[in-house]
Structure formats: structure tokens, C-alpha cells
């Protein structure tokens, strides 16, 4: 008799728990947002074909991540796979097609953060890792460290069995031309606002933030940094707190733009702290950091963010930011210009 009661109770509680758990899960709106870089992106400088190529690739990248989330995958997996699509496309400044440093080489930076565990991984100055975001995740999962750099990052990724490619794989005609243009001017271009404004391919990044059905947030960022960068410069993309941050208590953030200003502003973490400590919305937090902090210092760029309730922010102080958003409530958008 005791056995039967126990079995019935067990069945009841199991069913009950699964009903509650499935109800809770369906209450959580899963969501994904990506960016492909911010900058002086003007419609008059864009051909119809190029515009279409960007929109198609952004849609492909966000649909890959969304489909994973829909099928119950973790936000970590969605972030990795969406970013991989953009890294493999020569359109964006990450992986293949990344910008060139002053020695005409590609040096890649990336970071990833898991908002549930606060685990994080990053690589900087890598020269042979095909998909830097996957290497950042491998650093997080399989090394005692959070951040590896230079040859060490390349070696670690190779040991992990990640795809290794010669540096020439990353280099495109378009980025070689951009470097030539910058080099024509003898002084460092970024001290000259006028010049800076005229060159729209100097920086850029790709990034993704996702909230999965379990309510876990992840964020990742991957980039080649800034055209003509020198002395093994590290930008904000591989810096946890600057270019990438995720915390289930507040939000996930990925930034793109003039990295130096995002480092000085600890931009991604500042947005998360405004949400957590000041109890303001993610849209307001992103607006404050991008327009009232970074722009005031003289910096330009944008961010994408998702909070623990699935609310999304896509904020920029530039003329455009390649971006897309998709969620379980049926929202879907792919945009380029700031006034889109």
C-alpha cells in the first residue's frame, strides 16, 4: 500500500513538475539579435547588389541561431553558429574578410560570455584561427585561462582541433584597398575626424546575443579590429566587460565601433550594471552608454543587447549598423541604416 501511494505521488509530482516546467518555458520568450558592424554606412555609397548581399547574409545568420533556439539549443550554441556564418562571409570584419593591420596581416580578436555561469573566454591577435568565436568558447571550456593571445591563442586552437588556415585565407581585395587608402595619409587617420568620417570600412565587428528557452543569456563578439592597427593592438571585442558581457541577472551585450572608447567606457558591463543597479530598461541603458557616454568622449559605434525578459536594444550613434533581430513573439527585422 505504501509503495502504491509513493508511486502515485511520484507520478503526480513528476507530471506536475513537467507541466509547470513546460509552462514556465513557454512563458520565456526566446530571442536573438546580431550585428555585423557599425559605421558610416550611407545608402548613397551602397549598390543594390551589395545591400542585398548584406541583408541576405544577416538573415541567414539570424535564422541559423533562431532555428537552434526554437529546437531547444542553448543560447551559447546559437551565438556561436550565428557568428560563424558572419565570420565565414567576406562581407564582415571578422574571420574571412577582416580588416588588415599596418603590416597587411589579419589579427583576430573574439570573446564569449555565458550569462548563467559567468564563464568567459577570449582570444586576441590570432592569425590562423578560422573561426575565432569558436576558439573563444574553447578557451572558456578547455583551458584554465579566460584570455589567450597571439601565437599562444593559435597554438591552443590547433591543439583543440579547431580549423586552422593560413593568414592569406582571411585577406580580401577590398580590405587591401582600404589599407592602401589609409596608408596614403601619413598621419594616423583616427586623429582626423574629417578623414575618418569619409572611410567607412575602417572598423566593424560581428556579434550576437541570445536568450534561450531555459532563460539563459549568452553574448559573443568577433572582429579583425581596426584597419592599419599597429603594435599588436587589442580592441574592445575580446575584452569581457568592454565588447562583450552576459549575466542572466541583467542582460547580454555585444558592441561594435571604435574599440578604444568602448574599453575606456567598459561599455557592455556598464549597460548591464545600469539595468541591474539602476533598474532602468535595456533600451535606456544602451542609449545612455552609446549617446551620453561614448559619444561624449568622442567615440562612435553601437551595441546590441537582450535582457532576461527578452527585451531587445539595437542602439548606435553612427549612420548605420548591420543588424537583425528575431524572437518567439514573431518579431523579425533585418536593417542597415540608422533611420531604417
d(CA 145, CA 121): 8
For position 264 contacting its own copies by CB under 8 A, the verdict is: yes
d(CA 259, CA 205): 10
Size of the site for its own copies (CB under 8 A): 48
The 218-257 contact track toward its own copies, x by CB under 8 A, reads -----------xxxxxxx---xxxx--x------------
Binders of its own copies among residues 189 to 208 (CB under 8 A) are 190-191
Which of 261, 315, 314 is CA-nearest to residue 290? Answer: 315
Among 40, 67, 104, 155, binds its own copies (CB under 8 A): 155
Piece of the chain touching its own copies by CB under 8 A; list 47-55, 58-66, 69-77, 261-269:
261-269
CA dihedral sign, ordered 245, 325, 124, 192: negative
Pick the catalytic residue from 205, 221, 227, 244: 205
Piece of the chain touching its own copies by CB under 8 A; list 35-43, 50-58, 204-212, 272-280:
272-280
Instruction: CB nearer to its own copies: give 241 or 310.
Output: 241
| 3-class secondary-structure state, position 124 | strand
CA separation, residue 50 to residues 6, 41, 54, 91 (Å): 66, 12, 6, 9
CA separation, residue 145 to residues 103, 136, 140, 153, 212 (Å): 29, 11, 7, 11, 26
Instruction: CB nearer to its own copies: give 90 or 150.
Output: 150
d(CA 332, CA 330): 6
Q: Which grid coordinates are listed for 179?
A: 589599407
Instruction: CB nearer to its own copies: give 55 or 158.
Output: 158
CA dihedral sign, ordered 129, 131, 136, 140: negative
Q: At its nearest, how many Å lie between its own copies and the CB of residue 275? A: 10
Binders of its own copies among residues 280 to 319 (CB under 8 A) are 297
221 is an active site residue:
no
Q: Given the rule CB under 8 A, which residues bind its own copies?
A: 113, 118-120, 122, 124-125, 143-153, 155-156, 188, 190-191, 229-235, 239-242, 245, 259-260, 263-266, 269-270, 273-274, 277-278, 297
Q: Supply the residues annotated as catalytic.
A: 205
Amino acid at each position: 500500500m505504501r509503495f502504491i501511494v509513493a508511486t502515485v505521488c511520484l507520478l503526480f509530482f513528476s507530471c506536475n513538475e513537467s507541466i509547470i516546467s513546460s509552462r514556465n518555458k513557454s512563458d520565456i520568450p526566446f530571442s536573438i539579435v546580431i550585428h555585423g558592424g557599425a559605421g558610416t554606412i550611407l545608402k548613397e555609397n551602397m549598390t543594390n547588389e551589395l545591400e542585398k548581399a548584406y541583408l541576405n547574409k544577416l538573415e541567414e545568420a539570424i535564422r541559423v541561431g533562431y532555428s537552434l533556439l526554437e529546437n531547444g539549443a542553448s543560447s551559447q550554441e546559437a551565438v556561436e553558429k550565428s557568428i560563424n556564418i558572419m565570420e565565414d562571409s567576406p562581407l564582415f570584419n571578422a574571420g574571412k574578410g577582416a580588416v588588415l593591420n599596418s603590416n597587411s596581416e589579419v589579427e583576430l580578436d573574439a570573446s564569449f560570455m555565458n550569462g548563467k555561469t559567468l564563464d568567459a573566454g577570449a582570444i586576441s591577435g590570432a592569425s590562423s584561427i578560422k573561426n575565432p568565436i569558436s576558439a573563444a568558447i574553447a578557451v572558456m571550456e578547455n583551458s584554465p585561462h579566460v584570455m589567450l593571445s597571439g601565437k599562444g591563442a593559435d597554438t591552443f586552437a590547433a591543439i583543440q582541433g579547431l580549423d586552422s588556415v593560413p593568414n592569406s585565407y582571411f585577406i580580401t581585395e577590398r580590405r587591401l584597398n582600404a589599407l592602401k587608402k589609409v596608408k596614403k595619409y601619413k598621419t594616423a587617420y583616427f586623429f582626423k575626424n574629417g578623414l575618418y568620417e569619409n572611410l567607412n570600412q575602417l572598423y566593424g565587428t560581428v556579434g550576437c546575443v541570445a536568450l534561450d528557452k531555459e532563460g539563459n543569456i549568452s553574448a559573443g563578439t568577433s572582429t579583425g579590429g581596426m584597419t592599419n592597427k599597429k603594435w599588436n593592438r587589442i580592441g574592445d571585442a575580446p575584452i569581457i566587460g568592454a565588447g562583450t558581457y552576459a549575466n542572466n541577472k541583467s542582460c547580454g551585450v555585444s558592441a561594435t565601433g571604435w574599440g578604444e572608447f568602448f574599453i575606456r567606457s567598459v561599455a557592455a558591463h556598464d549597460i548591464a550594471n545600469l539595468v541591474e543597479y539602476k533598474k532602468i530598461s535595456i533600451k535606456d541603458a544602451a542609449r545612455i552608454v552609446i549617446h551620453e557616454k561614448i559619444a561624449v568622449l568622442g567615440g562612435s559605434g553601437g551595441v546590441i543587447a537582450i535582457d532576461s525578459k527578452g527585451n531587445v536594444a539595437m542602439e548606435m550613434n553612427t549612420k548605420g549598423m548591420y543588424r537583425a533581430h528575431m524572437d518567439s513573439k514573431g518579431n523579425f527585422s533585418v536593417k542597415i541604416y540608422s533611420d531604417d
